[in-house]
Amino acid sequence: MEELIRLQKFIASAGICSRRKAEELISAGKVKVNGEKITELGTKINPDADKVEVNGEIIGNGGKKYYIMLNKPAGYITTTSDTHGRKTVIELVKDINARIYPVGRLDADTEGLLLLTNDGDFANAVIHPSKRHVKTYIAEVKGLPQLEAIKMLKRGVDIGEYITKPAQVELLKGTSSSSTLKIGITEGKKRQVRLMCETIGHPVLALKRVEIGPIVLGNLPKGKWRHLRKEEIDRLCSK
């Protein structure tokens, strides 16, 4: 028997918007199913067969879910498209016949581990604050941070109208000109690690994310991607 789900739930699970916003789009006549405009909020669809369009964009069906790890190079922005013609991470993930989108973000000048999916429930499970997944970065910074500066990061620092939560910080190596720090945070404020390092007087020279919770970037080449293994997905979602 075919399983039918509410249209607004399907749109939200595809990562287009929240369920409430999806209801507004339906009511405004911005959604079509199999070419027919739908305005009734109670409408149910077959996610494996029906073609859904939102604002003229086909979002495909929800039959196959994708869970992808990408080693993002610097210079790519973490969006699905860009009106200014900048390179996006979606351009790096080929041969996926679905609308995937990034889970969270990485700054354009930051490299490393980025997850992409077309499963809204998975994305929410990864980024929801209650999960408190530690995101681990390797930061090359200017100069050699002293013990007190590292303690400041561990306690939390004011990065401008926000005091960060305590971080995991380890000095891996250092000289008077530059040092390498391993920094783990549970938050995701814009440019947070860079701002944290600037606050202690050691601006970032290069930054790479290497872990999200139990997911480790490992030796995946820069610019390449792979599917997450089932056990990796389960460990991310079960915490």
Strands (E) located in the chain: 5-6, 31-33, 36-38, 44-45, 52-54, 57-60, 67-72, 101-103, 111-117, 135-142, 168-174, 178-185, 204-212, 215-216, 225-227
Q: In angstroms, rounded to a whole number, what is the distance separating the alpha carbons of residues 234 and 228? A: 10
Q: Which segments of 83-215 does DSSP mark as H helices, in order?
A: 120-127, 147-155, 192-199
95 annotated active-site: no
Residues 6 or more apart whose Cβ sits within 8 Å of residue 76: 87, 88, 89, 91, 92, 108
Q: Which of 107, 109, 158, 234 is flagged as catalytic? A: 107
Active site residues: 107
